[in-house]
C-alpha cells in the first residue's frame, strides 16, 4: 500500500494505492488517475531557467513540453545549467530538443526580443 497527497487540485485528498493499483481516498477521477501514475511512474512538469545573452534579462524561463520522470528532474536541471541561448527567443521555441534522450523538449515560456 502506498500513500500520497493528491496534487492535482488544492483540495489535497489523501490517496491510498494498493498493490493492484486500486485507488481509494480520491474525490474525483483525476485523483484516481494521478494515484495510479504516482504509484507506477511518478512524473513532474519541469520549470526552470537557462542563461540568455540579451540586453534585457539574464535568465530565460523554460518548461518541459511534457512531464518527465520524477527521478530525472535533478539531472535535467543540472543539464540546463550548461545551456546558454541568445536573444531573440520566442515563446514556445525549443531550447533543448529531446533533453537527455527522454523524448521531451525544453521550451521557452517567454519572448525575449533583444
Ligand atoms: S482527488 Fe480530485 S478533488 Fe481530490 S485533490 Fe485530487 S483532483 Fe482534487
**Measured from the CA of 28, which atom of ligand 1 is nearest?**
2
Check: CB of residue 102 under 8 Å from CB of residue 69. yes
Phi, psi of 80 (to 5 degrees): -70, -20
pLDDT tens digits for range 14-67: 999 999 999 999 999 999 999 999 999 999 999 999 999 999 999 999 999 999
Q: In the chain, where are the structural domains located?
A: 2-40, 47-108
Binning pLDDT at 50, 70 and 90, where does residue 88 land?
very high
Q: Is the CB of 104 under 6 A from ligand 1?
A: no
Class of domain 47-108: alpha beta
105 close to 99: Cβ distance less than 8 angstroms: yes
Does any ligand 1 atom lie closer than 6 A to the CB of residue 37? Answer: no
Q: Determine the Cα angle at 49 with ends 30 and 37, to 5°.
A: 20
Mean pLDDT of the chain, nearest integer? 96
Cβ of residue 5 lying under 6 Å from some atom of ligand 1 = no
Amino acid at each position: 500500500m502506498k500513500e500520497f497527497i493528491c496534487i492535482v487540485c488544492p483540495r489535497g485528498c489523501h490517496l491510498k494505492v494498493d498493490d493492484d493499483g486500486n485507488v481509494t481516498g480520491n474525490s474525483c477521477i483525476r485523483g484516481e488517475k494521478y494515484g495510479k501514475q504516482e504509484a507506477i511512474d511518478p512524473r513532474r512538469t519541469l520549470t526552470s531557467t537557462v542563461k540568455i545573452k540579451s540586453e534585457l534579462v539574464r535568465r530565460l524561463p523554460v518548461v518541459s513540453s511534457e512531464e518527465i520522470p520524477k527521478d530525472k528532474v535533478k539531472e535535467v536541471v543540472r543539464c540546463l545549467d550548461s545551456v546558454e541561448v541568445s536573444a531573440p527567443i520566442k515563446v514556445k521555441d525549443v531550447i533543448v530538443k529531446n533533453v537527455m534522450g527522454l523524448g521531451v523538449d525544453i521550451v521557452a515560456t517567454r519572448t525575449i526580443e533583444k
